[in-house]
Amino acid sequence: MKARELKELGVDQLKEKLAQLNLDLFNYRMTAKLGNLEKPSVIQAARKDIARIKTILSEKAKA
């Protein structure tokens, strides 16, 4: 997701999306360990999305 799209979401929606991304990341890692992950780049993309959401949440908490 783009940072602009994430900034438009509310705090509760961001927390839900963060929980979903953490679960997805876990599943991607398990699939990668089994050797069935077709696109390993999804792990890096999920990690970056998680970092974006955490950054936006901290910015909203300071404001």
**Which residues have CB under 8 Å from 14's CB, separation 6+?**
6, 53, 56, 57, 60
CA distance 19 to 22: 5
| Total tally of structural domains belonging to the chain | 1
Domain extent for 21:
1-60
CATH of the domain at 41: 1.10.287.310
Instruction: Quote the pTM value.
Output: 0.90
* pLDDT at site 15: 96
Q: How far is CA 33 from CA 8, 26, 28, 30, 37, in A?
A: 35, 11, 9, 5, 8
pLDDT at res. 2: 85
Are 37 and 28 a contacting pair, CB within 8 Å? yes
Would you state the pLDDT for residue 1?
73
User: pLDDT tens across 2-59, in order?
Assistant: 889 999 999 999 999 999 999 999 999 999 999 999 999 999 999 999 999 999 999 9
